[in-house]
A and B are shown apart, each in its own frame.
Chain A
Amino acid sequence: MQRVGIVAFQGDVDKHGAMLTAIGAEPVEVRTQRELTIVDRLIIPGGESTTIGMLMEREGLLAAVRHRLNEGMPVFGTCAGMILLADKIIESSQPRVGGLRITVERNGYGRQLESFETALPVPELAAAPISAVFIRAPIVRALGAGVRALARFEDVAVLVRQDHLLAASFHPELTRSTEVHRYFLSL
């Protein structure tokens, strides 16, 4: 069984955990460098990206995750997790992992009143559209070399892959759609 770490300081850690359990993987909460060493892959969940980034930095986890990522460990970020993986964040120098060649704008879809739910076609992953919930979501402003959009909403990339990195500006973990998590386990 694959051991999938979830950065567990803040955010919807338990939702990712339930999703992983449902598709036959073992979720492991990661708050320390030691806990990172025992996982095969890693999820950075939704939550507040500044809070999660700061707490990772205080633990030395930003550098540690970057190191594992460069060695080829698959990493998946949703919403805040996407921000923390992005190389460029518009008007922000917040602590982050980086490595994913995209530019994002925080809260690019607006504040909470602009949060929304939609049926999202992801042809490579699922025959029918999957349900996707966007909460104060970041918007992807640019894709760099080697980054591919697996799904778009209103012509904007919302699910992207670069080698073993996967990032979504929405929250598959808040729905019953297991396709994105299954895809991550196959990377």
Chain B
Amino acid sequence: MNETLWSERQKSTWKTKLGLAEMLKGGVIMDVTNVEQAQIAAEAGAQAVMALERVPADIRAQGGVARMSDPGMIAAIQKAVSIPVMAKCRIGHFVEAQILEALGVDFVDESEVLTPADNSFHVDKHKFRVPFVCGCRDLGEALRRIGEGAALIRTKGEAGTGDIVEAVQHLRSVRDGIRRLTNLPGEELMSEAKSIGAPYDLVVEVSLTGRLPVPNFSAGGVATPADAALMMQLGAEAVFVGSGVFKSSDPVKRARAIVDAVAHYQDPERLVQLSHNLGDPMSGIATEQLENEQKLAGRGW
């Protein structure tokens, strides 16, 4: 056992939290708002579902405060499918997180898609037995969330837009940050930790291993099979699809096509076949037309 690595010093629950994140690699996690959609997702081959009342595109369109979903709706979905069920709590809202843990969800997403409950602090995720996934835009943000106890990281992208550009930027940014750390000499790591706002021990670990200590998935803007395969080729280990499936004209077909695209992301001929005749994707919003305050990805401290 290598005690110099932060991951190796964590308690046994860390291994079981991280273990589920490892099991979720290489697949698609779909946002669903009811039992029927959850079943469509499971039958398409989704490896987990995210239960929420409104997909991000609707949260964006309708405005207002977006909160944790009704536990009754989440429980109905838990009953309807055998795959893992995730649910979202607001940033910093540790009581919503406690409720989701008591409900027995398999993963809690402390998500910028909901309206933040705390403008300065995130949930102390080490205190929970349920594993957490958190969003990030760069390596510093990823390591702050891992330092707080997140067992899975997803780059944020810009949820509810159907525009992949921010997802690409955030994933590239994390990977660039990792590559940079692996090239820095040891004496520069403390200053680097200070400059990116990350825990020093995690900076040391990444500089030694060349990878995050938890899996890194991609989210925010995937609308087509090609988008999903793009994120996998860029190095994402799995893909979250939010509004992209159920805001399209043929969710059954598109859900399966996106699952198949992630399974065969390196095979362009296969991507040709499965991209045929899927109907219309979600119409979407170009993120360059969004004002900064309209972007959800800026939430997170």
Query: Which residues of A are in contact with B by a Cβ distance under 8 Å?
Result: 8-15, 31, 46-48, 50-51, 54-55, 58, 79-80, 92, 106-107, 111-113, 115-117, 133-136, 171, 174, 176
Contact A116 B16 (CB under 8 A): yes
List 22 contacting pairs A-B, 8 Å CB cutoff, sorted by A: A8-B26, A10-B26, A10-B27, A13-B25, A15-B22, A51-B83, A51-B259, A55-B45, A80-B23, A92-B82, A112-B16, A112-B84, A115-B20, A133-B15, A133-B16, A133-B19, A135-B16, A135-B20, A136-B20, A136-B23, A136-B106, A174-B22
Residues of A near B259 (CB, < 8 A) are 51, 55
Tell which of B1, B16, B264 has the most Cβ of chain A within 10 Å: B16
Residues of B near A13 (CB, < 8 A) are 25-26
Given A133-B16, A176-B1, A11 contacting B23 (CB threshold 8 A): yes
For residue B149, CB closer than 8 A to chain A, the reply is no
Within 8 A of A (CB), among B37-63: 42, 45-48
Contact B23 A135 (CB under 8 A): yes
Residues of A near B23 (CB, < 8 A) are 11-12, 46-48, 79-80, 135-136
Residues of B near A48 (CB, < 8 A) are 23-24, 27, 47-48, 83-84
Contact A112 B83 (CB under 8 A): no
From the candidates B15, B106, B129, name the one contacting A174 in the complex (CB within 8 A): B15
Query: Which residues of B are in contact with A by a Cβ distance under 8 Å?
Result: 1, 12, 15-16, 19-20, 22-27, 42, 45-48, 82-84, 101, 104-107, 129-131, 259-260, 263-264
How many Cβ-Cβ contacts under 8 Å join chain A to chain B?
99
Contact B84 A136 (CB under 8 A): yes
Contact B84 A11 (CB under 8 A): no
Smallest CB separation, B48 vs chain A (Å) = 7
Residues of B near A9 (CB, < 8 A) are 26-27, 263
Smallest CB separation, B169 vs chain A (Å) = 25
Residues of B near A58 (CB, < 8 A) are 260
Contact A112 B263 (CB under 8 A): no
Given A15-B22, A50-B83, A117 contacting B27 (CB threshold 8 A): no
Contact B47 A112 (CB under 8 A): no
Residues of B near A136 (CB, < 8 A) are 20, 23, 84, 106
Contact B25 A51 (CB under 8 A): no
Contact B42 A50 (CB under 8 A): yes
Given A9-B263, A171-B19, A112 contacting B25 (CB threshold 8 A): no
Contact A47 B84 (CB under 8 A): no
Tell which of A13, A48, A50 has the most Cβ of chain B within 10 Å: A48
What residue of chain B has the Cβ atom nearest to residue A47's Cβ?
B23
Contact B26 A11 (CB under 8 A): yes
A135 and B20 alpha carbons, distance in the complex (Å): 6
Residues of B near A116 (CB, < 8 A) are 12, 16
Contact B25 A107 (CB under 8 A): no
A9 and B46 alpha carbons, distance in the complex (Å): 12
What residue of chain A has the Cβ atom nearest to residue B238's Cβ?
A10
Contact A113 B45 (CB under 8 A): no
Smallest CB separation, B236 vs chain A (Å) = 14
From the candidates A10, A31, A79, A106, name the one contacting B47 in the complex (CB within 8 A): A10
A50 and B46 alpha carbons, distance in the complex (Å): 9
Given A112-B107, A133-B16, A12 contacting B260 (CB threshold 8 A): no
A1 and B165 alpha carbons, distance in the complex (Å): 44
Nearest first, the 5 A-B pairs at minimum CB distance are: A112-B106, A115-B16, A48-B47, A10-B27, A135-B19
